[in-house]
Structure 1
Amino acid sequence: MTDSTQSPDSPSAGDGGAARRRYRHFRKVGYRPVSGGSREDEEPAEKVSEPVEVTEPEKIAEPEKIAEPAPAEKPTPVATATLPPPSPWQSAPRYPTAGPAAGPFVVPPAPGVPFMPWWKPPTTGAPHKVLVVGLVAGLAGAFLAPPNNGIGWFLAALFGVGGVLFYAGKPSIERALWLAAALAFLAMGFLRAAEWVFPLCVLASMMCGSIAMAGGRTVRGLVFGALGIGLAGLRSIPWVAKGFSKRGPVGIRPFISVGVALVLLLIFGSLLAGADQAFGKFLESLVPELEIGGYVRMAFFGGVAAFGAVGACYLVTAPPSINEDAESKPGTLRVKDYALPVGVLVVLFAGFVGTQLAVLFGGEKYVMETAGVTFAEYARSGFWQLLWVSILTLGVIAGVARFAARKTAREQLWLRILLGSLAVLTLVIVASALSRMWFYQQAYGWTVLRLLVSSCEVWLAVVYLMVIGSGITLRANWLPKAIVGTGTAFFLAVVVMNPEQVVADYNVSRFDATKKIDTVYLSRLSEDAVPALVRLPEPQRSCSLRWLKNRGNVEQDWREWNLARHNARKSLESVAVTDVTCESSYSGER
C-alpha cells in the first residue's frame, strides 16, 4: 500500500494522528494498561509493534515501556496507556490522583496571616504561676475594690502588681518607675476626697501600668504601650485555656476542701461572734452588705483585675517585636512647599508677641486705653484662645518635622530656622497666657479649673523647650516618651499638691486682705478644702461648710476609708456650723 492510500489514522500519518488516537483511547478506557478486547483496543498495540520512527517529543511524552526479553530475537515492546500531551484544541485534561497523596497537581493551601505578625504567641500554655497570679488579682479586685474611692483600691493594686512581679521577676528601673506611678495614682483614692480626681487617677494608673509592661519609645510604640495590657488580655485567652488543658482535670477534692473550710468558718465564726460582742462587730465590719448589684460589681472588678494581671504576664512571656529603631521613610516635603505657610505663621506670631510686650510694659493703663476693658476682663478674654494656639502649633511643628525633606545641609538649615522661630514665638505666647491667668486670679481668686489649665500651660512650656532642644540636633526619637513622661509627672504633682486645698487656702488668705470671697463656689468643694475653710470667720465659715457638715459620713465599710474625709470630720467637730443666709461677694459669672 502506498503513502497516498494510507488512512490519516495510521502511524505513518504523522505524530499528530498518533497523539489524537491515544487521547481518544485514554478518554474511553481511562488510565490503565490496555489488553485485548475490541478492535479499537487492539489497534494501538498492533500499530505500536510496527517499526515506526519516533520523534523526540513523543519520547518525552511516553512513559517507560514494559518489555519481555526473548532469547533469540530483539525484545518486542508492549503497549501501555500513556499520559497524552495536551490537545491543541482542548484544555489540558485533569488526571486523577491516586489516594490521599497531594501529588504535583494539588496546590497546598496558603498559610493564614496572623492579625499582628510582629507579636508571636507563646508556643506553650500558661504556666501555673500565671494561673495563680490571675486568681490572686481577681480575688483582690472583687473583695477589696469598693464602689467609691477608698483604701481598698490601693490594696487591690498592691496584690495585682505584686503578683505580676512575682511572675516577671526583678523589674528594670524604667518599669519600676512606671509601676510606682501607677500605684501612686491609685493611692489618691484614699488620700484625696474630690470626686473628680479619682476617675482621672484610675485612667492614669491603667496607662502607666500598661506602658510599664509593654514599653514604647516612639509614637507608635507608646500608643501600643498604652493599650498593651488590654490587647494582651484578649490574646491570653487561648494561652490560659491551653495551660488549663495541659494540667488535666482538676478533680473534685479542691472544691470539697473549699466547701468544708467555708462551713467551718461559718459555724465557728457564728459561735465566737455570739460569745463576744466586740468580736461580732469586728466580723460584721469585715463582711460588707451586698445585694445583687454588689455581686455584679464584685464580679466585674474581679474579672477586670484578673484580665489585666494575666495580660501583663502575657506581655512578659511574649513581648511584641515592634521595630521602633527602624528608620522612617524620608520626607518628601520640599522647602518651597512649607516655607510659605510656616513663614506666614512666624510673621503673625511675631506681630502678636510685639503687641504682648507693649501690654506687659504698659500695664493696666495701656489696656484700658487701647482695649477699653479692665485688665481682668482682658486677661480672661484671651487665655483660652492662647491655649488652643499653643496646642495647635505643636501639631503644625510635628507634621512639618515629620514630612519635611532634610537630606542636604540647606534643607536642614531652613527647617531649623523656620520651626525654631515658630517654637520660640509660641513659647512667648505660652508665657503670655500664663501672665493673663495670673492677672485674672489676682482679680477674682483661684478656682480648680484655673489651677489645672495653668499647670497645663506650664507643661506646654516644658514641651516647647524640649521641642527646641530636639530641633537643634534634628533628632526627636526621645521626644514622644519625654512628652508622655513629663505629662504624667505634672498631673501626678498636681494631684499630690491637693488642688482643692490649695485653692481654698489662697482664697481664705485673700479674704483676709480684700474681704472678698466666693462662698458659693467654696461650698461646692470636697472635704479636701475643709482644713482651710475652718479658718474663715462667721458667717463665711458656715456658708462654706454647711453642705459638708450636713453630708455626714459616706463610708460604708473599711474599704472606703479615706484620709481626707477622716481629717475633715475631725476639723468639723471642733467648729460650729449654723444655718445662715449667705451672699457671695461676686455677682454674676466670673
Structure 2
Amino acid sequence: MTTTATTTETPVPTPARPGRLRAAWRPDRTSVAPRATLVAALGAGAVAAVTLDPSLVSIAYLLAGAAVAATAFVTVAPRPTGLQVWAVAAALALLAVAAIRGAGWLVLVCVAASWMVGSVALVGGRTWTGLALAPVSLWCTPTRLVGWVHRGRARYPSASRVRPGRVLAVAAVSACLVLLFGALFVSADPEFGRVFESVVPSVGLGNPIPHLVLGVLVAGAALASAYLRRRSPRLDALAPAPARPLARWEWAVPVALLDLLFAAFVAVQLRVLFGGDGHVMGTDHLTYADYARQGFWQLSAVTVLTLLVVAVAVRRIDTTAPRDRRLARVALGPLCLLTLVVVASAVHRMALYESVFGFTRLRLGVMATELWLGAVFVALLAAGVRMTGRWLPRAVLASAVLGTLAFAAINPDGHIADRNVARYAETGSIDVSYLRGLSVDAVPALDRLPEPVRSCALLGIGVGGGASGFAYNAARSRAAQILRERPVGPCDLGRW
C-alpha cells in the first residue's frame, strides 16, 4: 500500500509593484544640469528682471517667454520634435498678444493658455489625464532641481563653478551701482533721462527688489523647464484604467431616449429656437432679456452636460465588439448632431440679445466659448467615424489654442466698443459708464463718438506711459497717439 503525502506549497510572495506615481516619474539621482542650461537660466532671469513688469502689458512677456523656451529647448538634448516646435510656437504666439493688445484680462487668458500648451511641449501627453497634469508638473520639480543643479556644479572644476549665492550677490551689487549712477546721470542731463527710461522703462529708478525676486522666479522656471525636457514624467501612465464595458442595452437605452428628447425639442421648438424678432414680438410677456438669458444659459448647460454623457458612454462601450461599435455610431452620432443645433440656437439667442442691448466682455466671451464647444462636437463626430479618439485630446487642446488666438485677433474690447458706437449712431443709446472700463484697445473706436460723449467715454481709460522699449505695446502706443492729437475734453459725468 502506497501512501501519498499531501504537501501544501507556501506561496512565494511577489514583489510589490511600484506605485503609479513612482512609475510615472522615477527618482533621479544621476542626471546633471549642463553648464549651458545654468547660464541660460540665469540669462532668462536677468531678462525678466530687467524687462518684465507684471502690472504692465507689454512685449516683455514675449521676451521672457522666449528666454525660458531657449533654455529648455536649445541647451538640453534631445532636439525638439516637430510637434514640440509647433507647441512652443503656439505658446510664444499667445505671449505675443501682450505686445499687441492692451486688455489685461485678455492677456491673462493668453498667458494661462501659453502655460498649458508650453507644459505639454515639455512633458508631452496624449491622454486627457496627461494634458490635465502637464501644467502642474512644473511645480513638482523644486526638490529634484536641487540635486540636478548640485550634481552639475560638482562636475565642473572648482574655479568655474556657478554658485547661485554669488550670482545673486553680483546681481544685487550690479543693480545698485546701475541705479545709483543712473540716478546721478538722469539728474545731470534730462535728455539722458528720457533715453534711459525709454530703454529700461520697467526698471526705472525704483526699488529693485521686486524685479530681482521676479528674475529669480523666472530663472527657476527656466531651470525647471529644462529639467522636465531632460527627465519628462510619463503622465499618461496615471490615466485611469479602461472601465468595465456595460451590456449593450444598459447604455443604448438611455442614449436612445436622450436622442428622442433632443429630436422632439428641436422639432417642436424650431420657431422658438430660430424665431428671433418674430417670436419675441408675437409672444405675450416675452422680452428680449427673457428670450436670450433664459434660453442661452439653459442651452449652454445642455451642451456641457451632453459632453459628459458622451464621455461616460464611450468609456462604457465595448469598442472591440463590431455590433457595439455600429450601435454607438447610430446612437451617439445623432446626439452630437442635434447638440450642434442646440449650439447654433444658443449663439443665435446671444447674438440677438447683443444686437438689442449692446456688447459686453461676458456676452462676447460666453459666445466664443459656445462656438468652441461646437467645434469640439465636430471633432467628436469625426472620432466616431472610426470609433477611435487617441488624437482627440490633443485636437481639443489645439482647437482651444487656435480659438484663443482668434479671439485675441478680433480685439474683444475694440469690437465691443465698435459695436456700441454703431448702436449709438442708430439708436442714440449708449452705456458710457461701461465703456469707461474698457482697455486702450477700445480707444480707436471710442474716438469716433461725437463730443461730449467721446470725452466721457475716454475719461476712464488710462493710457499711461511705456510706449517704447521693453514696455512697448502696440495698442497703448496707438491710443497715446490718438489722445495726443485729440485730448479728452470736459465731461459732465452726472449726465451719463
> Scaled by the length of structure 2, what TM-score is found?
0.84
Match of 1:160 among 68, 75, 88: 68
Aligned twin of 2:347: 434
State the distance in 2 between where 1:471 and 1:128 align: 49
| C-alpha deviation, 1:275, in angstroms | 7.5
* Separation in structure 1 between the aligned mates of residue 463 and residue 320 of structure 2, nearest angstrom: 68
Task: For residues 414-446 of structure 1, give each alpha carbon's deviation from its aligned partner in whole angstroms, at most 9, with x where no partner exists.
Answer: 222221122111111111101111211221122
The residue that corresponds to 1:189 in the other structure is 98
Q: Which residue of 2 aligns with 1:70?
A: none
Superposed, 1:374-385 pairs within 5 Å as: 374-375=287-288, 377-385=290-298
Q: Letter of the aligned partner of 2:39 in structure 1?
A: V
Q: Give the 5 Å matches for 1:488-499.
A: 488-499=401-412
State the match for 1:563 in structure 2: 474
- 1:510/1:269 Cα in 2 relative to 1: closer, same or farther (>3 Å)? closer
Structure 1 counterpart of 2:24: 118
Which SS does the other structure have where 1:168 is aligned? coil
Q: How has the CA–CA distance of structure 1 residues 274 and 570 changed in structure 2, closer, same or farther, with 3 Å as cutoff?
A: closer
Deviation at 1:270, TM superposition (A): 8.3
* Aligned residue number for residue 553 of structure 1: 464
Q: Pick the aligned partner of 1:221 from 130, 134, 138.
A: 130
In structure 1, give the amino acid aligned to 2:58: G
Q: Does 1:301 align with 2:214?
A: yes
Of Structure 1 and Structure 2, the greater helix share is in: 2
Instruction: Tell me how far 1:473 sits from its aligned partner.
Output: 1.1
Q: For residues 253-291 of structure 1, give each alpha carbon's deviation from its aligned partner in whole angstroms, at most 9, with x where no partner exists.
A: 9969969x9599799878977875533553466452333
**2:117 corresponds to which residue?**
208
- Does the alignment pair 1:444 with 2:357? yes
Change (3 A) 1:400 1:283: same
In the alignment, the residues of structure 1 paired with residue 17 and residue 406 of structure 2 have an alpha-carbon distance, to the nearest angstrom, of 51
Give the match for residue 241 of structure 1: 150
Moved more, 150-159 or 553-562: 553-562
Q: Bigger relative contact order, structure 1 or 2, given CA contacts below 8 A and separation 6+?
A: 2
Q: For residues 146 and 363 of structure 1, what CA distance do their matches in structure 2 show?
A: 47
Greater Cα shift, 501-510 or 280-289: 280-289
Q: How far apart, in 1, do the equivalents of 2:464 and 2:188 lie?
A: 30
Which residue, out of 529, 552, 572, partners 2:483?
A: 572
Q: Which sits farther off after the overlay, 562-571 or 323-332?
A: 323-332
Q: Which position in structure 2 is the counterpart of 1:310?
A: 223
Name the CA shift for 1:272/1:459 in 2 (closer, same or farther; >3 Å).
Answer: closer
Tell me, in whole angstroms, the C-alpha distance in 1 between the residues paired with 2:493 and 2:265.
47
Choose from 77, 83, 90 the match for 1:174.
Answer: 83
Instruction: After TM superposition, give the deviation of residue 250 of structure 1 in Å.
Output: 4.7
Identity of aligned residues (%): 36
How has the CA–CA distance of structure 1 residues 234 and 184 changed in structure 2, closer, same or farther, with 3 Å as cutoff?
A: farther
- The 3 A distance-change label for structure 1 pair 553 and 180 is same
1:343 equivalenced with 2:256 (yes/no): yes
1:517 matches 2:430:
yes
| One-letter amino acid matched to 1:577 | G
Q: What are the within-5 Å matches in structure 2 for residues 7-406 of structure 1? A: 116-120=22-26, 121=28, 123-148=30-55, 149-168=57-76, 170-247=79-156, 249-250=158-159, 262=174, 278-279=191-192, 281-283=194-196, 286=200, 288-291=204-207, 295=209, 297-321=210-234, 329=242, 331-359=244-272, 362-370=275-283, 372-375=285-288, 377-406=290-319
Conservation of the 8 A alpha-carbon contact between 1:126 and 1:243: yes
Q: The residue matched to 2:75 in structure 1 has which SS?
A: helix
Mark the CA change 1:168 to 1:371 in structure 2 (over 3 Å): closer, same or farther.
Answer: farther
Spell out, residue by residue over 1:561-581, the C-alpha distance to the aligned partner (whole angstroms, 9 max, x if none): 322122112112233521225
Which SS does the other structure have where 2:22 is aligned? coil
Q: Secondary structure at the match of 2:150?
A: helix
CA offsets 1:77-112 (integer angstroms, 9 cap, x no match): xxxxxxxxxxxxxxxxxxxxxxxxxxxxxxxx9999
Matched with 1:408 is 321
Shift of 1:178: 1.5
Return the offset for 1:538.
Answer: 2.1
Matched, 1:484 2:397: yes
Mapped to 1, the partners of 2:400 and 2:162 lie a distance apart of 52
1:117: how far off? 2.2
Q: Check whether the contact 2:98–2:473 (CA below 8 A) recurs between aligned residues.
A: yes
CA displacement at 1:232 relative to structure 2 = 3.9
Structure 1 segments unaligned to the other structure (5+ residues): 1-108, 585-590
Q: Distance in 1 between matches of 2:179 and 2:276?
A: 76
Counterpart Cα distance in 2 of 1:513 and 1:535: 14
Matched-pair contact (CA < 8 Å) for 1:356–1:432: no
In the TM superposition, what whole-angstrom CA distance separates every residue of 1:134-193 from its partner, at most 9, and x where no partner exists?
Answer: 211222222221131222222222222223232136533321222122222222223222
Equivalent-residue separation in structure 1 for 2:320 and 2:107 (angstroms):
48
Instruction: Choose which of 427, 449, 456 in structure 2 pairs with 1:536.
Output: 449
Contact 2:101 / 2:473 at 8 angstroms: preserved in 1?
Answer: yes
| Distance in structure 2 (CA, Å) of the matches to 1:553 and 1:326 | 48
The Cα of 1:515 is off from its aligned counterpart by 2.5
Unaligned segments of structure 2, at least 5 residues: 1-14
1:273/1:381 CA distance change after superposition, 3 Å: closer
| 2:12 corresponding residue in structure 1 | none
Give the whole-Å Cα distance in 1 for the aligned partners of 2:436 and 2:223.
44
- Residue 330 (structure 2) aligns with: 417
In 2, Cα distance between the equivalents of 1:475 and 1:374? Answer: 45
Note the alpha carbon deviations across 1:191-218, whole angstroms, 9 max, x for none: 2222212222222221121111111121
In our comparison, the structure showing a higher alpha carbon Rg is: 1
The change in CA–CA distance for 1:271 and 1:354 in structure 2 (over 3 A counts) is closer
In the TM superposition, residue 319 of structure 1 has moved relative to its aligned partner by 2.9
Secondary structure of the corresponding residue to residue 468 of structure 1: helix
Shift of 1:514: 2.5
Cα distance in 2, alignment partners of residues 177 and 425 from structure 1: 34
After superposition, give the CA deviation of every residue in 1:2-39 in whole Å (9 maximum; x if it has no partner).
xxxxxxxxxxxxxxxxxxxxxxxxxxxxxxxxxxxxxx
Shift of 1:482: 0.6
- Between 1:270-279 and 1:528-537, the stretch displaced more is 270-279
Q: Would the alpha carbon gap of residues 522 and 119 (structure 1) be closer, same or farther in structure 2, given more than 3 Å must change?
A: same
Residues 153 and 162, structure 2, Cα contact 8 Å, conserved in 1: no
After superposition, the Cα gap between the structure-2 partners of 1:403 and 1:284, relative to the gap in structure 1 and judged at 3 Å, is same
**156-165 vs 324-333, which moves further:** 324-333
**Map of 2:5 onto structure 1:** none
Q: CA deviation at 1:400?
A: 0.9
Change (3 A) 1:355 1:438: farther
Partner of 2:11: none
User: Contact 2:242/2:315 (CA < 8 Å) preserved in 1?
Assistant: no
C-alpha deviation, 1:399, in angstroms: 0.9
- The one-letter code matched in structure 2 to 1:316 is R
Query: Which stretch of structure 1 is more off in the superposition, 366-375 or 244-253?
Result: 244-253
Q: Secondary structure at the match of 1:116?
A: helix
